[in-house]
């Protein structure tokens, strides 16, 4: 982004008392949800459900930019860019972008519904020994050593309270990660500067935990992150560490590694890595100046489970064969019957490999309804059309849902074999790109509406 700490109890800002405003705000949100469900009834409960935790479990590409992009820009980057995580500045008086015209509750909920993983950022007081001119004229972390850096701890707790309030106002729910942005500083210049920064971040973490948020810390790998990792690795350390770290190390490598962090620190799945600084990228005709990140948080790549089909009829194959009367592909005939029965087109016996009149009637109904040539033969193109049918979310690296399973089966049927595991990974991205090239679509590797439409037509 351009531009732990002690075993003693963290400080409580005078106006808040033992139970912070953040805690009461969390309770208010929970009560509001319960009251809303009771008032609206079951039919509206799902519509009024809170947003998902963010970023949650995710491994993949992300970007950050000071001002949250417009919805039009996000729409184009949803379908055309490789990114599915985005850093947003939600609080902190030291932000260069305190005015966020696009960042609203609707913006947040819209991105989450589209599959984005948000990385909320607070940029408040910076290290007392910072050399950045802008921060020298703003409130910095108090380096006073009195009462074990009490002043710094008060500041950290207050910034956490403000971040929680801002998050809840935007619909970013408890369980989400909130990152504190501590920009680069000289960790060798002053013990008081370094120690006060550590105590500040400890108070930040403690207060976020009280409010049931996950604590994150962003900083330069050579300064703030090294400071934290050195404290973590020190024998007898009593500092409370952030749960996740966001490492700014512009080494150009899309992974979670940095030479400034020991391999056992925040591993596995508790690191984001900003590996390239500010530069322009253009997708869908929209150019944004971004920092580039690799994100590996939560549980990383998590496969969304898929229920059984027709009580356990196998539908995954390494190839999908053309079927016709007297076929020897009995297992695939059963799979076809199962899938057509799920579409309410086949009502006969699924667990039979017989390619008979009931199946012919059902498959012809599918072909006619989906613009396919009506025939006694079930082709590989028909398989592509049937296997891809369903919800059509945008799928990128790291995506996992029921649609991910369907995508991988469809790619196999289209002649681009991939393991059917339910997680969009590098082989899946490469297979999508190959499919797109074959059907004359832009080779992006992203499964967006145009790609789903080609699959629905049975193109291969």
- pLDDT tens-digit profile, the chain (460 residues): 653 222 233 333 333 333 333 343 333 333 333 333 333 444 444 456 789 999 999 999 999 999 999 999 999 999 999 999 999 999 999 999 999 999 999 999 999 999 999 999 999 999 999 999 999 999 999 999 999 999 999 999 999 999 999 999 999 999 999 999 999 999 998 899 999 999 999 999 999 999 999 999 999 999 999 999 999 999 998 999 999 999 999 999 999 999 999 999 999 999 999 999 999 999 999 999 999 999 999 999 988 889 999 999 999 999 999 999 999 999 999 999 999 999 999 999 999 999 999 999 999 999 999 999 999 999 999 999 999 999 999 999 999 999 999 999 999 999 999 999 999 999 999 999 999 999 999 999 999 999 999 999 999 9
CA–CA separation, 381 and 384 (whole Å): 5
Taking alpha carbons only, the member of 48, 193, 81 closest to residue 135 is 193
CA–CA separation, 315 and 320 (whole Å): 10
Please identify, in words, the CATH class of the domain defined by 330-456.
mainly alpha
Q: Provide CATH code, domain 50-297.
A: 3.20.20.80
pLDDT value of residue 35 = 35
Going from the C-alpha of 139 to that of each of 88, 126, 162, the distances in angstroms are 22, 8, 15
CA–CA separation, 230 and 242 (whole Å): 13
pLDDT value of residue 69 = 98
pLDDT value of residue 189 = 85
Cα dihedral across residues 262, 263, 269, 275: positive or negative: positive
Contacts of 142 (CB under 8 A, 6+ apart): 128, 149, 151, 152, 155, 196
- Whole-structure pTM value: 0.87
Please give the span between the terminal C-alpha atoms of the chain, in angstroms, as a whole number. Answer: 43
Domain ranges of the chain: 50-297, 330-456
Taking alpha carbons only, the member of 75, 9, 90 closest to residue 286 is 75
């Amino acid at each position: 982004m351009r531009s732990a700490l002690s075993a003693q109890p963290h400080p409580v800002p005078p106006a808040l008392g033992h139970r912070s405003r953040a805690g009461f705000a969390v309770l208010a949100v929970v009560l509001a949800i319960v009251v809303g469900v009771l008032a609206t009834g079951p039919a509206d409960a799902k519509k009024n459900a809170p947003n998902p935790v963010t970023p949650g479990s995710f491994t993949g590409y992300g970007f950050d930019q000071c001002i949250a992009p417009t919805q039009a820009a996000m729409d184009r980057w949803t379908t055309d860019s490789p990114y599915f995580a985005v850093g947003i500045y939600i609080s902190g008086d030291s932000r260069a972008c305190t005015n966020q015209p696009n960042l609203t509750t609707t913006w947040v909920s819209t991105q989450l519904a589209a599959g984005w993983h948000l990385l909320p950022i607070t940029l408040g007081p910076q290290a007392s020994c910072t050399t950045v001119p802008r921060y020298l004229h703003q409130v910095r972390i108090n380096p006073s050593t009195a009462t074990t850096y009490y002043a710094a701890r008060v500041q950290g707790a207050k910034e956490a309270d403000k971040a929680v309030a801002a998050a809840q106002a935007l619909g970013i729910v408890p369980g989400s990660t909130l990152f504190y942005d501590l920009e680069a500083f000289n960790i060798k210049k002053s013990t008081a500067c370094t120690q006060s920064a550590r105590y500040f971040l400890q108070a930040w973490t403690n207060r976020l935990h009280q409010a049931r948020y996950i604590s994150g810390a962003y900083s330069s790998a050579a300064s703030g992150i090294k400071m934290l990792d050195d404290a973590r690795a020190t024998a007898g350390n009593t500092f409370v560490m952030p749960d996740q770290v966001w490492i700014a190390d512009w080494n150009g490598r899309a992974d979670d590694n940095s030479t400034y962090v020991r391999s056992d620190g925040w591993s596995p799945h508790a690191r984001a890595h900003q590996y390239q600084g500010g530069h322009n990228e253009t997708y869908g005709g929209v150019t944004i100046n971004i920092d580039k990140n690799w994100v590996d948080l939560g549980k990383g790549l998590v496969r969304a489970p898929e229920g059984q089909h027709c009580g356990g009829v196998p539908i995954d194959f390494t190839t999908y064969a053309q079927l016709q009367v007297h076929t020897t592909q009995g297992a695939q005939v059963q799979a076809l019957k199962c899938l057509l029965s799920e579409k309410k087109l086949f009502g006969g016996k699924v667990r039979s490999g017989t390619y008979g009149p009931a199946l012919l009637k059902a498959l012809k109904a599918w072909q006619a309804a989906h613009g396919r040539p009506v025939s006694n033969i079930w082709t590989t193109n028909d398989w592509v059309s049937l296997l891809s049918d369903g919800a059509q979310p945008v799928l990128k690296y790291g995506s996992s849902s029921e649609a991910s399973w369907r995508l991988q089966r469809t790619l196999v049927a289209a002649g681009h074999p991939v393991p059917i595991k339910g997680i969009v990974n590098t082989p899946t991205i490469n297979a999508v790109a190959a499919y797109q090239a074959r059907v004359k679509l832009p080779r992006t590797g992203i499964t967006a509406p145009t790609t789903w439409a080609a699959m629905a037509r049975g193109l291969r």
